[in-house]
Amino acid sequence: MDFDSTGGMLGCPPPEDLAAFADGKLPRAQRARIEAHLADCEMCRELITDTVLLSTQSLPGERGAESRRRVMAAAGVGLALAASFMLVARLQPGLIPFGEGHQYQELVAAVGHNRTVEGRITGGFAYAPLRPATRAGREGREENFALLAASGELQQRAVTKPTAANRHAAGVAQLVVGDYDAAVKTLEAAVAVEPAKAAYHSDLAAAYIARGQAMDSRDDFSRAQAAAARAVALDPSVDEAYFNEALALESLGQPAEAEAAYRRALARDPESPWNAEINLRLQKVHQP
């Protein structure tokens, strides 16, 4: 295999550009060029994906330089830099807040109609049927480089400005890429700082539901119901919270309460694209 003078493969972006891409630091035009390259270059896709996967293999007690050295040794210095913020996000998610002044729309656009969690998330995410929760589906999220770049940009911004709003955006970014436990901890931190923000509670409910489904945890469903109910009490205009409360009640095996909650969600907006799914869920909770 041929390499250029920087250690990169000939015809491929240099490692530092791939690292900056994963870290969300490239200008839009350059990022678009790398996204186009990744669509055709399996090796570069694997380099970035392997770096993300390696970041999940750090030992729970590892921190800072020790964690980064493990990734550097396995994936190379350039891509290790791209993974560094992901290591911190997983090892100490409470320290990775995300986005006041964030470009949330880039995360929303990257998710598009590829809905990855069952709960509703605030911030303008489009309705789509839930994608089946398969191993391939998880790998698909890891190889959605536009999503990783948008998430990385939010996380990098949050590192430099750790506000409650940044923690909230961080938790949402972690949730949509499938880091449910990290998302819960980060959103709990946001709620602790600003407990009067209804959207924070509603998104925390969605994170509890996702983790509860992944871990088969009834306690998480109970937490989700309480968080969603708190969001509705704080701000009755947050439509997402009504759906999340209903979903939590359904997950708890309380069909009568779930039906009432789904009907409240259905009444929020007669034109909502979520209503078809809500009607299907109403039929389901009626089944013996």
CATH code, 216: 1.25.40.10
**Interval 109-127: pLDDT, tens:** 888 888 989 999 999 999 9
- Kindly state whether residues 34 and 164 are assigned to the same domain: no
Q: How confident is the model at residue 114, as a pLDDT?
A: 87
Query: 44 pLDDT band (50/70/90 cuts)?
Result: confident
Per-residue pLDDT averaged across 164-185, rounded? 90
The reply to whether 7 falls in a domain is: no
The reply to whether 144 falls in a domain is: yes
**Interval 207-237: pLDDT, tens:** 999 999 999 999 999 999 999 999 999 999 9
Q: How confident is the model at residue 132, as a pLDDT?
A: 54
The answer to whether the beta carbons of residues 245 and 232 sit under 8 Å apart is yes
Q: Which of these three, 69, 91, 113, is where a domain ends?
A: 91
Average per-residue pLDDT for the chain = 75
Q: How confident is the model at residue 108, as a pLDDT?
A: 85
- Kindly state whether residues 45 and 82 are assigned to the same domain: yes
Q: Which of these three, 45, 73, 91, is where a domain ends?
A: 91
- Kindly state whether residues 117 and 189 are assigned to the same domain: yes
Query: 79 pLDDT band (50/70/90 cuts)?
Result: very low
Candidate from 39-43, 57-61, 196-200, 240-244 with smallest mean pLDDT: 57-61
- Kindly state whether residues 208 and 260 are assigned to the same domain: yes
Residue 279 vs residues 148, 210, 252: alpha-carbon distances, Å: 33, 21, 19
The reply to whether 116 falls in a domain is: yes
Q: Which of these three, 36, 60, 91, is where a domain ends?
A: 91
**Host domain of residue 148:** 94-286
- Kindly state whether residues 235 and 105 are assigned to the same domain: yes
The reply to whether 186 falls in a domain is: yes
Is residue 64 scored above 50 in pLDDT? no
- Kindly state whether residues 83 and 152 are assigned to the same domain: no
Q: How confident is the model at residue 107, as a pLDDT?
A: 85
Q: How confident is the model at residue 153, as a pLDDT?
A: 74
Query: Structural domain tally of the chain?
Result: 2
- Kindly state whether residues 101 and 27 are assigned to the same domain: no
